[in-house]
Amino acid sequence: MSNEVFTDHYSVVLNRAPFEWSIDEGRLRFFGIPSALLWLNPSLLKILRPLADEIGIPLFRLLVAHSGSFGTAEDYHDVVLALGSTFEEGLLAWGEVISTIGWGRLELPFCDVQRRKAIVRIRNPWELDMQRGQPVNWGCPFLQGKIIGLFTHAFGVPCWADEQNLVIDGEETSVEFHVYESNRTIESEIAVLREARERERQQRLLDEIAAKTLELQKANEERLRLQEEIIEMQARTVAELSTPLIPLNKRVLLMPLIGAFDSQRTQLTVDRLLHGVAEYRASVVILDITGVPIVDTHVASALMQAAQAVRLLGAEVVLTGIRPEVAQTLVGMGVSLQGIVTRGTLQSGIEYASGVQ
């Protein structure tokens, strides 16, 4: 260890790792590279935790490992090869360097360069120390990226490092990386994960579209149902207005018929007449056809149905508003008005009904 002191400038070498502080500039350099000291917890944890929560731990781990693998070529050539006569010796020397900056204590319990396999153990890794006491942790992806990068350069083939045997609780934390040759790369794993996330996103979008479509379909069906109800209600209202039933007194009802007739209106006319006769206990019902423009077979049949239904309830039917051309039409069609009192005008029909009472 050497130590030199200058005005506002300090330098020290620990485990062959040079540190320099320029107090007046507020700068720290490690191996000549600008650096900074941060508390693991809370400072660094509060920076990383929101990122992990936002993008999810799997993608966060891969992105951090990918970033951690940057610079491993320089680490391997400038530190590992420079500080050791063998790869194992150089890696342990690199471990001495990183231990001086608080990354943890590196051990190499197993390494077989020929078989391209190794086990790297790190005691008190900074990532686990930072996450101590947290409900959810994401392991040591930064150190994993470093190990993958170093061994890929050392073995000369793509390597992967499985993170195993994490110890995060207790006085000392630790992690092991089991290294082996593999076609897996951090970049390919990121691509696979992103594709999976994109498929999930698209599926969620499809599910949302399907749910929204179903919601709109149900809303449209409900709208159509309400629309049909309104149309039916309007039709009933129009029909009722076109076939009004007016009580002239306690025993006489008047139904002025207006407009054309179809089967639906014929049935409505009969229903209203029967209901009115029963409700008012009428003895006379006046059907006025002054407002019916054309009397054809259909209209004549409707009049006969209405008259027969009323007579079955014991009431007399008076047909008024028969114009000369209407009379000729009825005779020409052979319509029998037997049992029905006919009058030319509504006024004469009312006078007749009053006399019957």
Choose which CATH entry (3.30.230.10, 3.90.800.10, 3.30.750.24, 3.40.50.300) describes domain 243-356.
3.30.750.24
Kindly report which listed range (119-123, 142-146, 295-299, 345-349) carries the lowest average pLDDT score.
295-299
Strand segments (E) across the chain: 2-6, 9-14, 17-22, 27-30, 33-35, 105-112, 117-123, 159-167, 174-181, 246-247, 252-258, 284-291, 316-320, 341-342
> Quick one: average pLDDT of 51-73?
94
pLDDT of 62 reads 96
Kindly report which listed range (42-46, 212-216, 350-354) carries the lowest average pLDDT score.
350-354
> What does DSSP say about strands 174-181 and 9-14: parallel, antiparallel, or unpaired?
unpaired
> Quick one: average pLDDT of 141-169?
96
Domain boundaries, the chain: 1-37, 39-193, 243-356
pLDDT of 1 reads 47
Burial class (CB in 10 A: 0-12, 13-18, 19+), 20: middle
Higher pLDDT, 110 or 17: 110
Higher pLDDT, 322 or 156: 156
pLDDT of 130 reads 96
Cα separation of the two ends of the chain: 134
> Quick one: average pLDDT of 286-299?
83
Query: What single DSSP character describes residue 123?
Result: E
pLDDT bin (cut points 50, 70, 90) of residue 147 is: very high
Kindly report which listed range (82-86, 314-318, 323-327) carries the lowest average pLDDT score.
323-327
> What is the average pLDDT score of the chain?
89
Say how far apart CA 80 and CA 87 lie, in whole Å.
Answer: 7
pLDDT of 176 reads 98
> Quick one: average pLDDT of 328-345?
83
The DSSP string of 318-339 is EEE---HHHHHHHHHTT---TT
User: pLDDT, tens digit, for every residue of 217-258?
Assistant: 999 999 999 998 888 887 766 666 667 888 998 889 998 988
Burial class (CB in 10 A: 0-12, 13-18, 19+), 225: exposed
**Residue 161: both structure tokens together:** 């490092």
> Quick one: average pLDDT of 318-332?
84
pLDDT bin (cut points 50, 70, 90) of residue 171 is: confident
**Residue 315: both structure tokens together:** 């009431």
Contacts of 196 (CB under 8 A, 6+ apart): none
pLDDT of 49 reads 95
Q: For the domain covering 39-193, report its CATH number.
A: 3.90.1520.10
